[in-house]
Amino acid sequence: MKKLIALLSITLLLSANAAYADECTLNIDANEMMQFSTKTLSAPKNCKQVTVKLRAC
């Protein structure tokens, strides 16, 4: 369980760097057990269009 939490933490940190590149694109990682790398999604109000990218691990 601790390894899973560490892996999710690292994933969130890496996806945070991608968020600086484009605030209106949200990246989510999912595994075979339908567990996602984040529980909430949010985008700035100035986004006219939001893109959600789902990546299966």
DSSP state, 36? B
How many other β-carbons are positioned within 10 Å of the β-carbon of residue 54? 11
Q: Report residue 28 CA to chain centroid gap.
A: 3
Pairing of strands 25-30, 51-56: parallel
- R_g of the chain computed on alpha carbons: 12
Please give the pLDDT value at position 57: 83
Return the structure tokens found at 2: 């601790």
Q: Picking from 1-5, 10-14, 33-37, 46-50, which range would have the lowest pLDDT averaged per residue?
A: 10-14
Domain boundaries, the chain: 2-56
**Which pair of structure tokens corresponds to residue 21?**
């590149």
**Which tens digits make up the pLDDT trace of 16-41?**
555 455 789 999 999 988 899 989 99
